[in-house]
Chains A and B, each alone.
Chain A
């Protein structure tokens, strides 16, 4: 007879304990620090090398170096964190929050800042050229002297 009352203890325990489920979304879910929610980019640091695009197992990331854009197919991304681990500038990171559910496929595109202007080269005058040549000759002579001393 005792073998039919095995579950009663658990039933009573459940009856007098708080629910284990959360009242989501009224009560916000706290994600652990390492949670892989969605990939975010710090576009100011990005050098548009395309490493994340090549490493993406689901080909969700597209990097356009000419237009300086970084875009991700949110529905194609599988949150594997491979791009984050392979980014040479460490400008990608995983946000703990998931992307919102949508009716259509979403592609997020981030526009990078215009490239920093290249430093201007100093203008070469005949005096400057003569100076550089003299410096190079002196360096060569010093090197030859050092070699002769070693021999």
Chain B
């Protein structure tokens, strides 16, 4: 038996966008076991719900994470809308759908860039982030913020997008789609990229189910589950096929995410063509009482929001179950037996968002 050694990995590591620590037990160059440790960016955001007015907590909820900020805010308001039992106007639903998909596009582009950086393809990394910048510019034009949007409120949305802005965005996304096609060629057909991704980090369908994988990680293992098909916001009026792959490796995860960007662009086109006119929000009365769940498909997978109110303006409890948290176990599974050089790549393939997970 070869000698075992323990290599600490993270929380500060060039490849990691966010802090997670792993103790890698190595046998020669092979990982035998990985022991994770998180808790570096805990901010106690969930506890704050007991000290902030439930209306103002939207702004705190969306600061849970910088990438899926819109969806965190939206998850909280959807749960609160269920407590209040209000049905928001159609236009607000469509606007939320468009912003959700824009978030997904920029999150996946960010991930593609990080992946390219992870396997050492700097130039490709810059190409991805250049495209992402266009989405952030559109966000700033529509909502006033590049990362934190602050457009959700309980009962609807705060800002409207006029028809000319929507048309302009569709044109921008058509252009983005063209650029993305060039990048897709490189990600899915280039020899160097394939040699780093093919057959690395296999997560079989059975393992994905038993270990509780979520989002693109799960869909890359051939499981056809997408929370968007539940029909929250305006998704019930929109046609889309759940994208899956049966290859179960890192290449499949990359492929699923790239195809999801194309799909998101298509969803935005559909939403813009179907968006109704009307009010942006409905007024809510009184303080909330009761409890509610909301589920939504974030770029990283399914997130669950739970709110419990007691009839005062402060909630008793707010809880978020983030996709990264459930994806950590499958990640540890894929790390077992991997080469040390593939470890950064395998951590990246779950698209870790540790600040969501720790809140």
Among B158, B186, B190, the residue within 8 A (CB) of A85 is B158
Contact in complex: B191, A4 (CB < 8 Å): yes
Contact in complex: A78, B59 (CB < 8 Å): yes
Contact in complex: B59, A80 (CB < 8 Å): yes
Contact in complex: B123, A11 (CB < 8 Å): yes
The residue of chain A having its C-beta at the shortest distance from the C-beta of B185 within the complex is A6
Among B142, B183, B190, the residue within 8 A (CB) of A34 is B142
Interface membership of B60, Cβ < 8 A:
yes
Contact in complex: A34, B52 (CB < 8 Å): no
Contact in complex: A34, B159 (CB < 8 Å): yes
Contact in complex: B143, A10 (CB < 8 Å): no
Contact in complex: B52, A20 (CB < 8 Å): no
Q: How far is the CA of A10 from the CA of B131 in the complex (A)?
A: 13
Interface membership of B285, Cβ < 8 A:
no
**Stretch from B144-152, B232-240, B266-274 forming part of the interface with A:** B144-152
Q: How far is the CA of A4 from the CA of B158 in the complex (A)?
A: 49
Contact in complex: A10, B186 (CB < 8 Å): yes
Q: How far is the CA of A32 from the CA of B191 in the complex (A)?
A: 42
Among B150, B159, B185, the residue within 8 A (CB) of A80 is B150
Interface membership of B87, Cβ < 8 A:
no
Best-surrounded residue of A36, A57, A79 (most CB of chain B within 10 A): A57
Q: How far is the CA of A35 from the CA of B183 in the complex (A)?
A: 30
Interface membership of A3, Cβ < 8 A:
yes
Interface membership of A7, Cβ < 8 A:
yes
With both chains docked as a complex, state the minimum distance between the C-beta of B50 and any C-beta of chain A, in angstroms: 14
- Write out the residue numbers on chain B whose beta carbons fall within 8 Å of the beta carbon of A73: none
With both chains docked as a complex, state the minimum distance between the C-beta of A145 and any C-beta of chain B, in angstroms: 42
Contact in complex: A3, B194 (CB < 8 Å): yes
Contact in complex: B56, A9 (CB < 8 Å): no
- Write out the residue numbers on chain B whose beta carbons fall within 8 Å of the beta carbon of A107: none
Contact in complex: B148, A55 (CB < 8 Å): no
Query: Which B residues, 161 to 197, have Cβ-Cβ distances below 8 Å to chain A?
Result: 182-183, 185-186, 189-192, 194
Total A-B Cβ pairs within 8 A? 65
Interface of B is mostly: helix
Q: How far is the CA of A9 from the CA of B184 in the complex (A)?
A: 13
Contact in complex: B194, A57 (CB < 8 Å): no
Among B53, B145, B186, the residue within 8 A (CB) of A7 is B186
Q: How far is the CA of A98 from the CA of B146 in the complex (A)?
A: 13
- Write out the residue numbers on chain A whose beta carbons fall within 8 Å of the beta carbon of B130: 20
Q: How far is the CA of A55 from the CA of B58 in the complex (A)?
A: 12
> A35-B140, A36-B144, A78-B148 known; A6 and B189 CB under 8 Å?
yes
> A10-B182, A20-B130, A35-B140 known; A57 and B145 CB under 8 Å?
no
Among B52, B57, B145, B183, the residue within 8 A (CB) of A79 is B145
Interface membership of A46, Cβ < 8 A:
no
Contact in complex: A4, B190 (CB < 8 Å): yes
Q: How far is the CA of A31 from the CA of B145 in the complex (A)?
A: 11
Contact in complex: B59, A82 (CB < 8 Å): yes
Contact in complex: B158, A3 (CB < 8 Å): no
Residues in B lying within 8 Å of A, measured CB to CB: 52-53, 56-57, 59-60, 63, 123-124, 127, 130, 133, 140-145, 148, 150, 158-159, 182-183, 185-186, 189-192, 194
4 interchain residue pairs of minimum CB distance: A34-B144, A36-B144, A80-B59, A6-B190
18 additional A-B pairs beyond A6-B186, A57-B59, A78-B148, beta carbons within 8 Å, are A7-B190, A11-B123, A20-B133, A34-B140, A35-B144, A35-B145, A36-B150, A55-B53, A55-B56, A57-B52, A57-B57, A57-B60, A78-B63, A79-B148, A79-B150, A80-B59, A81-B150, A94-B144
Show 28 A/B contacts (Cβ-Cβ < 8 Å), sorted by A. A3-B191, A4-B192, A6-B185, A6-B189, A7-B124, A7-B190, A10-B182, A11-B123, A31-B140, A32-B144, A34-B140, A34-B141, A34-B142, A34-B144, A34-B159, A35-B144, A35-B145, A36-B144, A36-B150, A57-B52, A78-B59, A78-B63, A79-B150, A80-B59, A80-B148, A81-B150, A82-B150, A94-B144
